[in-house]
Amino acid sequence: MTGFETAWARLTAAGAAAQGRRIAELFTSEPDRLSRLCVSAAGLDLDLSKQPWSLDDLKVCLDLARLGGVEAARERQFAGAVVNASEGRAALHMALRAPRGSDFRAQGEPVSAEIDAMRDRLAAFANAVRSGVLRGATGRPFRCVVHIGIGGSDFGPRLVWEALRPVAPAIDLRFAANVDPAEIALALAGLDPAETLVVVVSKTFTTQETMTNAAAARAWLRGALGQGGDAHLVAVSAAPDAAQAFGVPGAQVFGFRDWVGGRYSVWSAVGLSCAIGLGGEAFEALLAGAAAMDDHFRSAPLAGSAPVLLALAHMFNRNGMGRPVRAVTPYAQRLRLLANFLQQLEMESNGKRVGLDGQPVAHATAATVFGDAGTNVQHAFFQLMHQGTDIIPVDIIAVRHAREGDPVAQTILLANAVAQAEALMVGRAEREVRAELATKGLTPADIDVQAPQRTFPGDRPSAFILIDQLTPERLGALLALYEHKTFVEGVLWGINSFDQWGVELGKSLAARVLGELQGGPAGAHDPSTARLIDQLKAQP
């Protein structure tokens, strides 16, 4: 057995031992628990003390990270080596947000000067739209941007806009991702084509959902403005020729390289819509915040690295204690889309059953992620979190200072965030419930029925991330924290976090079914699928 395999066996044993103790008791037996399990990085404060691991378990996890080669893998990624082995690519999204004048290289090729030039061009275009220097076909300034993309071309920009948008934006930003025609119809509803800019984001400019929506938007523009409507089209793509063939003016095509993965692409020209809506300075601040987390991840020792510790805490729950689901609850309405973003980041990156060597993986990989904004979730799935039959770890994110609104309401929000983390861990014993019900005059028989239902078992783990204020810098740091955390997990599971072959089969079968629904010859299908196709073809 190798040292790495031994470390995995020790993690499994530590997880089994942790099943027999309570988290709250560790604060008494480990007086330095808080100092060891709380870390600050790039303006974020991370508290992992309410996780089920002991400090001895932490040592086991850190040994796993060392023996698993996290430090060496980290250096390979930052050096621009091939880390996406199945596609022969680097994964160098950190270069997109590095300080100007950096010297990042993708497989030995210098890329930083090219990135700096693109950032300058992006900022100039965004500011020209915002200032009214760049106008539409009729000479009127743009008042709205419709961003069309899907997957990584949508989740990141949509989250950034939702998190940072002004209450009354000078330029509104709308999104269309789903091929369901309702989404593009809703995105365009009430807009004036003469004042609308359409940004189409597709690496290949062939993505079915994106190009269907783009064609609908182009028809809407041309219907009102004629061929002049094409001047309202902007493309972000690695296939500029295809974008221009679609009708996008060459000066309004922005590119990015193939080492920019979709779910890591908001830092590239994919974020153009956000730069227009928020302003070039805000977008640059977003990049700077992510770069600060990059610096922390690259330089901090494993025991003091926020991404590494967060990854190990999640893995201790997933692999040590057999918990396949995790919730993410930002106590910030502006971050309500964070769980959606993380579903793609984590589940598409690490939802793999085969390792880099082509063999089945030896350990469970990505957890299922779900969530929404607090306090809303307290009236939804937190019942299950507190008293359900499964223990579901949760990441709680809170913002100390609100950007707008009543400070009293913000204090109420924070009180709920802190209280939920405490309640999940400490619970409420049945004896306390029985004593309280007795003081209310309930009969012993009623108490016997009600007390178990009002008991909270507790010992439900949480990670708590506190942000001072939801600025572009802090948002960039938060997203980069989860990016690096996902990378660390992939390294230790022995999988490629940068490909996504799992999305391909459904796409190819959908193309075949589409041909049949449009009158093509019937194909070979299972009986249920064939029946569904026949039903749909029979509809008037």
> Mind giving me the DSSP string for 171-212?
SEEEEE--SSHHHHHHHHTT--GGGEEEEEE-SSS--HHHHH
Say what angle helices 306-315 and 55-67 make with each other, to 10 degrees.
110
Residue 379 is among the residues annotated as catalytic for this protein: yes
Q: Which of 156, 155, 237, 252 is nearest to 197 (CA)?
A: 252
DSSP conformation class of 521: P
Q: Which of 211, 166, 168, 176 is nearest to 196 (CA)?
A: 176
- φ and ψ at 144, to 5 degrees? -145, 145
DSSP conformation class of 149: -
Residue 314 is among the residues annotated as catalytic for this protein: no
Which one of 109, 281, 401, 507 is the catalytic residue? 507
Q: Which residues of 109-134 are buried (b: 16+ CB within 10 A; e: fewer)?
A: eebbeebeebbeebbebbbebbeeeb
Residue with tokens 């019942």: 383
CA distance 239 to 410: 46
Give the 3-state secondary structure of residue 23: helix
Residue with tokens 């709205």: 144
Alpha helix segments (H runs only) across 226-352:
240-246, 272-278, 280-299, 306-315, 338-342, 349-350
Q: Which of 79, 102, 101 is nearest to 92 (CA)?
A: 79
Chain centre to alpha carbon of residue 310: 15
- Dihedral-angle region of residue 299 (phi above 0 means left; psi in -120 to 50 means alpha; beta otherwise): alpha
Cis peptide before 471 (omega within 30 of 0): no
- φ and ψ at 304, to 5 degrees? -120, 15
Residue with tokens 């992992």: 48
Radius of gyration, alpha carbons of the chain? 25
Give the 3-state secondary structure of residue 448: helix
Check: CB of residue 280 under 8 Å from CB of residue 126.
yes
Residue 525 is among the residues annotated as catalytic for this protein: no
Give burial (CB, 10 Å; 0-12/13-18/19+) of 367.
buried
Which one of 183, 348, 483, 489 is the catalytic residue? 348
Which sequence positions are flagged as catalytic?
348, 379, 507
